[in-house]
Amino acid sequence: LVGAALAAHHLTSDTQYATVAAREFNYVTPENEMKWSYVEPSPNSWDFAAADQIVAFASKHNMKVKGHTLVWHSQLPKWMEELTGAEAVRAALERHVRTVAGHYKGKVYAWDVVNEAFSDDSKPVLRNSVFQKHLGEEFIAQSFRWAHEADPDALLFYNDYSIEYPGAKLDAVYSLVSRLKAAGVPIHGVGFQSHVNAADAPTNAQFAGVIKRFTDLGLLVNISEIDVSIGSKVSGDLPTRVTLQRNTYRSLVAACVANPKCHSVTVWGVPDKYSWLNMPEFWTWAGQGPHYPLLFDDSYGKKPAYDGVLDAFCGR
Ligand code: G3I
C-alpha cells in the first residue's frame, strides 16, 4: 500500500489536491481529523464529520484507510488532559477507544492505536501523559484490547518516531512490543514515522536491520509518516539537496520494500505547501524551513523525490 496523510479541508478547497491524491495513492491517513480533540471535543460528545469526509473520499476511490490515532498525549482536549483519578481516566480512555474504533469498524484497514508513548530522553521512559500518570504502562495493553474488541478485523499498530535507527528509544519500543506480544495483547505491528532530514537520515542497512528486528518478532511494520526535510540542517545548493532527498527517499522506502512484512509506505502530505513542517512552531525539529519535504511541488509537479520512491518500488 502506498499512502498519504490527507486533510479534509484541502479535499474540499483544492480540486487538484483531491485529484492527485486519488491518482497516486491507495492508502489514506487522516492527518488530524481522527485525533481526540477533533472527534471528542467534550466528554462523550462526538464529531466525526471531518474524519468521515476523508473515509468517504477513500471509499469512493478504492483506497484503504489507516486510522490515526486513538491514544496520544498530544492534541488532547483540555478536559481530558485535566482529568484526575485512575478510575475516571480509565473510563474516559475506554469509552474513547471503543467509540472511535467502533464508529470505523469495517471501514479502516489499520489503526495507530498508541502513538509516541516514549520520551526523547537519553534513557527513554513512558511520557508523563494523563494516561501514564494515572494508569501506568497498562494503559497501552488495555487500549489495544479495547480497540481489538471494537473492530476485530483492523490491524493494530504502535507508532513512533526516531526509532528508524539503532538507539535507546528503539530499544525501549522493542522491549515494550515484545512484552505486549508475550502477554498475548492484540498488537499486529509497529509504524516507523520516518520524519527525517536528508543530512542525517538512517542508512538503508540501519533501517533494514531495525525493521527485521520487529518482523522477526512476528509483527508487521510500515513507514507511517515519511517526509524528508532539506531545510537549514542540510547543506549544499538546492539541486544538491534535492538529489540527496531523492536518494534518502529511495533508500528508506527500499528497506521497506525488501521486507515482505513491511506492508505500506505513507507520506505525510501531498504537496510541499501543505506540509506540517511549514508551521514554524515545529522548526526546532528539522531546522529552519523551507523544508520542501514531500513528493510533489506546490503546483503538483512530481519532484525527484517521487522518482526516488518509484525507484525503490521498482527495485532500481
Ligand atoms: O485547524 C487550526 C486552524 O483553525 C488555525 O487557524 C491554525 C492556527 O495555527 O491551527 C490549525 O490547527 C493546526 C493543525 O495542525 C491543522 O493544521 C494546529 O495548530 C497544529 O498544531 C496541527 O499540527 C499537527 C500536528 O500533528 C500536531 O502535533 C499537524 O498538522 C500534523 O501533521 C502533525 O502530525 C503528527 C502526527 O499526528 C504524529 N506524528 C508526528 C506528526 C508531525 O508532527
What is the CB < 6 Å shell around ligand 1? Answer: 31-32, 74-75, 115, 193, 225, 276
Which grid coordinates are listed for 200? 542525517
**pLDDT of 179-228, one tens digit each?**
999 999 999 999 999 999 999 999 999 999 999 999 999 999 999 999 99
Q: For residue 30, what pLDDT is reported? A: 99
Alpha carbon of 50 to ligand 1 centroid (Å):
14
Instruction: Summarize pLDDT for 155-168 with one digit per residue, the tens.
Output: 999 999 999 999 99
First to last CA, the chain: 19
Give catalytic residues, as residue numbers: 116, 225
- The pLDDT of residue 282 is 87
Q: pLDDT grade, residue 284 (50/70/90)?
A: confident
* 55 phi-psi bin (left φ>0, alpha ψ -120 to 50, beta other): alpha
Under a CB-based contact definition with an 8 Å cutoff, are residues 166 and 117 in contact?
no
Residue type, 74: S
The pLDDT tens digits of the residues spanning 94-124 come to: 999 999 999 999 999 999 999 999 999 999 9
In this prediction, residue 286 has a pLDDT band, given cuts at 50, 70 and 90, of confident
Question: For a pLDDT cut of 90, what percent of the chain falls above it?
Answer: 97
How are beta strands 189-192 and 195-197 bridged, if at all?
unpaired
Average pLDDT, the chain: 98
Query: Candidates 28, 29, 31: which one to mutate for ligand 1, based on the most atoms within 8 Å of Cβ?
Result: 31
Protein residue with its CA nearest to atom 32 in ligand 1 = 276
> Ligand 1: which of 13, 276, 294 to mutate, most ligand atoms within 8 Å of CB?
276
Longest dimension (CA), the chain: 56
Q: Is 153 exposed, middle or buried, given 0-12, 13-18 or 19+ CB atoms closer than 10 A?
A: exposed
Q: What pLDDT was estimated at residue 220?
A: 98
Residue 9 CA to ligand 1 centre (angstroms): 13
Spatial contact of 59 and 96, defined as CB atoms under 8 Å apart: no
